[in-house]
Structure 1
């Protein structure tokens, strides 16, 4: 997007918003290439993502001009950082991390993996094969507060845009979540809200389900109930035992997490309370 301008707008809905915005964009000699909008009619909220050809002479001037033509307290972002910085948290499972690191290596992730942090050393050697720093922060023989403080001390120097929980099997405290609000992304191995918590595939097998799935979502204080970014399912049948479900589930998990990261790094996700507006 070297010769393009990305504009993100979130504000109260009002008559004539699109026309006003289009006029401002034209005034700054920009041509609209794509425009995606969504109106939450119940709450009268307006969301817009515009890609324009051309670069404004003054970004600050364009932003101020847009704000002037929008309802009070409008949020306007122009050209958010395109190369997002990620820190990945892991425990022992490798499949999601492996997918992320391979995409990072071949520069198809649209983000830079700054570091991987694990509460076991299981994935250290694998991570370092990609010349990415690995930090081991053990949770053993520590209270949650101490562990999370040590974790935060490793994360903060990298100033990540997002912290990806790639099968990081620790429940985070409200204070930790608040510290990194709207930055924590989790992959959950079930089609939420069904089968939350531990052992969802065993839960699914006992229930005799005919689909399994995975959910990528923002982390909040409510376990596995944060705003959903991406969900995907796979049809199964009675012949799937628990190991078969786990194998199928891992394939879905890494695909869903990868898709969520792509949407986030392309600035296609806008938070709206406990929901998201996703401009595919």
Structure 2
């Protein structure tokens, strides 16, 4: 068998702007206070997005400014200005670190690896963990470490082996790119708000296994995919992104699955982009996405 090495140009995007992310209790005049502080400190606001959840009395904001300074100093000044308990991030890492978990299906992983190679993912893939060896070769082609950890279910021994691999790396998020096994609540609790999953269905419909078979048997007219954060409840975590396409009686379960793979890839890519760009806020079991 002839092996080849990919020789592709590397594209690096440089961004010298600062990002400010705020979540706090809402009150009158917050936008004026924040923009006034930034003006007094000679920050030029390039973009500003905000949202208020009136029912929960919560305020969400994401800003980009074009002045570089000590993040800790600006954060302290914002903390003095904002309501008590405000969540503030100033200049979070522009390139996140991620660990990817897979089973056998390649489509989502391949998209991630290509974006990672061309530096357009917004993250750096630290390693890939697979419970089968099917996807080891593609990881080698992109020079990404692959670890085979057999995992047939949420057994303590299997999950400890996965944790042992993860502990070798720094990471911001864990991406389940078609990892077709259920993670135990104990495992999930190690990574609060850090595990992102792509589910092959338009949640909350057709949770669990074989959703395309379920959809086919139900005679649905739409096929979809959902990217969400993982919680203790199966397929019930905060939703980040969703997409659907039309279906009709002529489609078989196999046709639905083929169409679904394309949607899964697109939805996961969109979800990862907004998460890595610090555009997603989580509260209760919901998200606010400031695109």
Question: What is the TM-score with the length of structure 2 in the denominator?
Answer: 0.93
1:272 positional shift: 1.3
Instruction: Report the counterpart of residue 166 of structure 2 in structure 1.
Output: 155
| Number of residues of Structure 1 aligned to a counterpart in Structure 2 | 278
Post-superposition Cα deviations, 1:136-193, rounded to whole Å, max 9, x if no partner, equal 10125x8701100110110122121110001101111111100011110000000000
How well do the aligned residues superpose, as a CA RMSD in angstroms?
Answer: 1.2
1:68 positional shift: 0.7
Question: Distance between the aligned counterparts of 1:136 and 1:236, measured in 2?
Answer: 37
Instruction: Report the counterpart of residue 191 of structure 2 in structure 1.
Output: 180
Instruction: Report the counterpart of residue 215 of structure 2 in structure 1.
Output: 204
Contact 2:154 2:183 in 1 (8 A): no
| Residue among 124, 144, 150 paired with 1:132 | 144
Question: Distance between the aligned counterparts of 2:157 and 2:38, measured in 1?
Answer: 50
Question: Distance between the aligned counterparts of 1:108 and 1:68, measured in 2?
Answer: 36
Instruction: Report the counterpart of residue 166 of structure 1 in structure 2.
Output: 177
| Residue among 44, 47, 55 paired with 2:60 | 47
Post-superposition Cα deviations, 1:208-258, rounded to whole Å, max 9, x if no partner, equal 111010000000011001000000000111110011001000000011001
Question: Distance between the aligned counterparts of 1:221 and 1:84, measured in 2?
Answer: 24
| Residue among 201, 224, 237 paired with 1:190 | 201
SS of the counterpart of 2:168?
helix
| 1:1-280 correspondence runs (5 A) | 2-56=15-69, 58-139=70-151, 144-280=155-291
Instruction: Report the counterpart of residue 3 of structure 2 in structure 1.
Output: none
- Gapped regions of structure 1 (runs ≥ 5): none
Post-superposition Cα deviations, 1:32-69, rounded to whole Å, max 9, x if no partner, equal 1111001111110110001112223x322211111111
Question: Distance between the aligned counterparts of 2:48 and 2:280, measured in 1?
Answer: 14
Post-superposition Cα deviations, 1:63-92, rounded to whole Å, max 9, x if no partner, equal 111111111111111000111011100011
SS of the counterpart of 2:112?
helix
Post-superposition Cα deviations, 1:125-146, rounded to whole Å, max 9, x if no partner, equal 1211100000010125x87011
Question: Distance between the aligned counterparts of 1:108 and 1:139, measured in 2?
Answer: 31
SS of the counterpart of 1:63?
helix
- Gapped regions of structure 2 (runs ≥ 5): 1-13
Question: What is the TM-score with the length of structure 1 in the denominator?
Answer: 0.97
Q: Displaced runs of 4+ in structure 1, greater than 4 A?
A: none
SS of the counterpart of 2:281?
strand
